[in-house]
Homo-oligomer: A and B are copies of this chain.
Amino acid sequence: MQQIKGVFILMKEFFISHGKHQGGNLLDTLRSYDMAPPTPCGGKGICGKCRVRILKGDAALSAPYDHNQPISREEWDMGYRLACRTRVSDDLIIETPDNHYTNGNIMTDSFSDTAIKPAIIKKYMELPKPSLDDQASDVDRIEREAWGARVRSIDLVRRIPYILKVNDHKVTCAIAGDEIIAVEGGDTSSACYGVAVDIGTTTIVGMLIDLNTGDEVGIYSCLNPQKQYGDDVISRIDHTKACPDGLSELSSLMIGQLNDMLRHFCSKYDISRASIYHMNLVGNTVMMHILASVSVDSIAVSPFNPVFTRFTGARGKDFGFEMCPEGLVTILPTPAGYIGADTIACISACGMANQQGLSLMIDIGTNGEIALGNKDTIAACAAAAGPAFEGGHIECGVGGIAGAINKVVFEKDSVSYTTINGAPALGICGSGLVDAIAGMLKLGLIESTGRMITRQEAEARFSTEIASRLREYSGKSCFMIASKETGAQRDIYITQKDIREVQLAKAAITAGVKVLMNECKADYCDIEHVYLAGGFGNYIDMDSAAAIGLIPGELRDKVVPIGNGALTGAKLSLKSSDYMADTSRIYKLIKYVELSSRPDFQDFFVDCMELA
């Protein structure tokens, strides 16, 4: 693999055998050779980052031009195609777009860096048995084959004589840097796994990765079990303060859930828990502190400083993880109380810290974490956006679940919508909400101040179809999007208060962006890319987002959704020590801007309350 990759990097041309990858997707095929660039759009044919030039391959070359792909007609005719949209229908010779990759584009660095270079390497060794001519100690016999690495754990030293004896001196070592962290009987070199985890306040997502190949073996997601103590980080902090054992209770819940994840992986993919050697964790600062059972008191009150920012040297046994006891547990840096390891991971994933030009990264969740910068410096802030875009604090709001209204289309006389998975509507999620408010604004049902017009005003200006949707519901004026009569599971509507929530959230984020632009003395035209992280960023309609001013019109065409950037970042730094090392560099680049102490934030916030 490494060999092929090396050649690939030096040469521009690469042969892909039809026999071996028959009918497979070209992106997957490249991935199987450990050569694929990350795909911010998730292989949806949107971001254009995976393009290659087909030099030979009739089926691919004769495909009709697809104007939905980010490839010009001219380029298409020259043979450029997106790997994610191309099948291996016959033998292919492809050319990797060196010129493109070396133009300072995000993919340049990502490409070479996705080389598998895990923190753990396994080595099988058949050791000579001790004799009067070679009385070296058991540990020395192992160490002299281990590339200079040493055994440090006393527990491991204790087990070594038995492992050597039972296995006839044939063993496999797991090596992390200059330390031998495990010695196993026989040849276990093919079993080398790591887990990347994004611990969100609401959900936990983990990915099992084969550290030999970089393959993404499996994925697991679940609700954060701490949810029973509150939806947001402040409730969790309050719980640790209110109960004497609150912190260890929350920590144990989390560790227990992560152990469930590990057991799931072990059982589903038939691997031993001892062959998981590395857990790489990201999440917001509060989640990371609670995970490590470290006090979160200081994060809740000004000046909001965390207890730790970087975490080095921890082992599986320190956390009670059901993995190799001496296996590594890493947490990406958490620069501030409200800028966490998840933000570092997003910055790492989108590649902005390797670019010359300025990029904006927005991770919209309960807090909107925002970063603006380039390879030299990155200003970052956290805007208390609230959970509106995740459906929280919204009368009929739901998360991105089946049946959530995720798209709303306004025509002059009608309103239509789609739901996730086409299920009967049961609520509205962030992207639907933004669509709805953008549509109402465009039609004039909402003024730019956010005021919803009255039924009387509506009847004077709109068709009955539209005007009749303005109703009183439980004493509140609201606009009906879907009703039980038309097949929804319940009446789904937007209230004046919902609009205010969206205004506040949007104002917080856009004001945050403006403060960072002030900080970096940057103008919209200086910003080359806007990376939108999180599920919301993937599904939102950019025109709607621009219509309500969530994304300034000037930046609309620069938006690249990067999906779960936090997990991607965790994954990359698990697969590659270079990425891991780079997160420390990113940490040092970050200049945290505390919005609560910035007078300009208040001004921008008020300015940005207006829709559009």
Contacts and interface: CB of A to CB of B under 8 A. Distances in A.
Contacts of A153: 313
A138 B292 contact: no
B131 A308 contact: no
Given A137-B305, A314-B154, A295 B130 contact: no
A474 interface: no
Contacts of A158: 292-295
Interface in A277-326: 292-295, 297-298, 302-314, 318-319
Contacts of A131: 303
A228 to B, nearest CB: 24
Given A154-B292, A307-B161, A308-B157, A298 B139 contact: no
A297 B160 CA distance: 12
A451 to B, nearest CB: 35
B132 A594 contact: yes
B154 A318 contact: yes
Interface in A150-194: 150-154, 157-158, 160-162
Contact of A308 (B139, B306, B314, B336): B139
A337 B135 contact: yes
A130 B162 CA distance: 52
B137 A308 contact: yes
Interface residues of A, number: 49
B136 A305 contact: yes
A258 B103 CA distance: 65
A594 B312 CA distance: 43
A357 to B, nearest CB: 28
Contacts of A298: 130, 138, 161
A62 interface: no
Contacts of A151: 308
Instruction: Report the copy number of this chain in the oligomer.
Output: 2
Interface in A123-147: 130-140
A600 to B, nearest CB: 15
A304 to B, nearest CB: 6
A309 B140 contact: yes
A304 B152 contact: no
A592 interface: yes
Given A131-B303, A135-B304, A160-B307, 8 more contacts: A132-B303, A135-B303, A135-B336, A135-B592, A137-B307, A140-B309, A140-B310, A154-B292
27 contacts: A131-B303, A132-B303, A132-B594, A132-B596, A133-B597, A135-B303, A135-B592, A137-B305, A137-B308, A137-B334, A138-B305, A138-B306, A138-B307, A138-B308, A140-B308, A140-B309, A152-B313, A153-B313, A154-B293, A154-B294, A154-B314, A154-B318, A154-B319, A158-B293, A160-B308, A161-B295, A161-B297
Interface of A: 130-140, 150-154, 157-158, 160-162, 292-295, 297-298, 302-314, 318-319, 334, 336-337, 592, 594, 596-597
